[in-house]
Structure 1
């Protein structure tokens, strides 16, 4: 769909990431809308665990999004060699949950929570790629396609239900299970087997992890409940895991916007000027210090 370049902002003297739509898709109105929606969704979130969007524009009829450059490794790369120690896994899970809680509070559902869309840096985890995000209550297109990655689709999404925050929490539960166990909660090697497992199979219990509090296993199992109403909210997951990791409550990490943004995306390429939010120094030291202590 697109190519992401590392670029240099010659005016402000900083490196950025520029996501450019592939040339063969530039005439596809649906793809253009999706890229603009991604920019609008991410730009409306002001949270330290969400990648920041700086601008949206077009060059030679090809749209692009200018984003914060995240130097780090994807969570998918980190778990390729096996499960993570439980403490770093809990820190990452808490921060991804906090990012989702901020999105859900604004009525945005990510719809593609998975290890490849989580970047881990020395300063913490960042949730990226809001390319198929949608507003709460939205439904998939009339063509019957369900947007998302099969390995992380909630049962209600497979059944064609509307977009809801609980679907992100289900995917978060699968992500947590993977980083703690090094595998999925059920055997499935094909897309059909994955979809059947989401709907019908009960997840295997998490294998014993030395030193890990039992509350983590219980929380993961609640996230993987088949019924959306039986799952915790992303904010609850963030607070419970954050408490175990020694992080401040998720609500303290949520930085409110200082200016209304996003409306200019519909009118043109320039995003309304806004002041960069600053995480209070004490909270920032707690987060960075906790990650350093865990070897991240």
Structure 2
């Protein structure tokens, strides 16, 4: 059977992922002779071209080492497609099937996810579906995938009467009350992700999705188990990310820097997001140069 080509240059080699409305293919860019990932609509689904174009533009603005890059957008037989960086590796969800991660690995992964979100939030983009299946672990670090339901900060949902966008276990409580997505929305998901990586389970365990949503909105998360060596500031950050009040959650940049420091790792935060450091509480004696408190 002939290989299908879209956009006159991208071969669809084999299907590597299927979502609710789309498929992701391992493809080949014939012009630049390189492998790519190509996202196309699944058979039987239709989405307006401008909606998919908006998705591509949101992701294309994010030039960050922990975000899968977008290369191109086009249409084939009047159906839109997005050409993305092909990220090799296994998803975090696949790794978590074996249980909790070593806390140092868990913290480093979440630091990189938070750094990616800091870049997105700096562009007024909210991911809205941070979860283990949308994070690929590669030799060079974590990569956040699929800004397919991303939204502009504060934007109303496409269908206010429809279901809340996202995966219920990672959706912030205020979203179920009808409030728009904000950076704090993503930070609740980061808290859930960190908790799951550290413990191997979700913060709330309930029998049905309805009970789970009720627990997220009204109950405290179950206490994390004792983890030898885990810094207290990481526990505190996880707790603050899971706060019911969005105003109590830390920013993505704050989370990225704190988590990275806890494991002596480096994360990339765009300079445009860095705030001036507060004045030091110390001064230097002249002429000795000694530091004093």
Q: Could you say which TM-score interval applies, normalised by the shorter chain? A: 0.7 to 0.9
RMSD: 1.4
Question: Counterpart of 2:236 in 1: which secondary structure?
Answer: helix
Match of 2:88? 71
Does the 8 Å contact 2:160/2:178 carry over to 1?
Answer: no
Distance in 1, Cα, partners of 2:59 & 2:131: 17
Rg comparison, structure with higher value? 2
Distance in 2, Cα, partners of 1:51 & 1:255: 20
Does the 8 Å contact 1:3/1:21 carry over to 2?
Answer: yes
Q: 1:158 to 1:196 in 2, by over 3 A?
A: same
- One of 199, 202, 205 as aligned partner of 2:223: 205
Note if 1:170 corresponds to 2:191: no
Match of 1:85? 102
Distance in 1, Cα, partners of 2:141 & 2:28: 23
Which structure carries more strand by proportion? 2
Q: TM-score, normalised by structure 2?
A: 0.82
Divergent runs of 4+, >3 A:
none
- One of 147, 150, 158 as aligned partner of 1:133: 150
**Structure with more relative contact order (C-alpha pairs < 8 Å, separation 6 or more):** 1
Match of 2:7? none
Question: Counterpart of 2:161 in 1: which secondary structure?
Answer: coil
Which structure carries more helix by proportion? 1
Distance in 1, Cα, partners of 2:178 & 2:265: 37
Q: TM-score, normalised by structure 1?
A: 0.82
Does the 8 Å contact 2:38/2:82 carry over to 1?
Answer: yes
Distance in 1, Cα, partners of 2:51 & 2:127: 13
Gaps of 5+ in 1: 257-296
Distance in 1, Cα, partners of 2:36 & 2:207: 37
Q: CA deviation at 1:255?
A: 7.9
Gaps of 5+ in 2: 1-20, 273-293
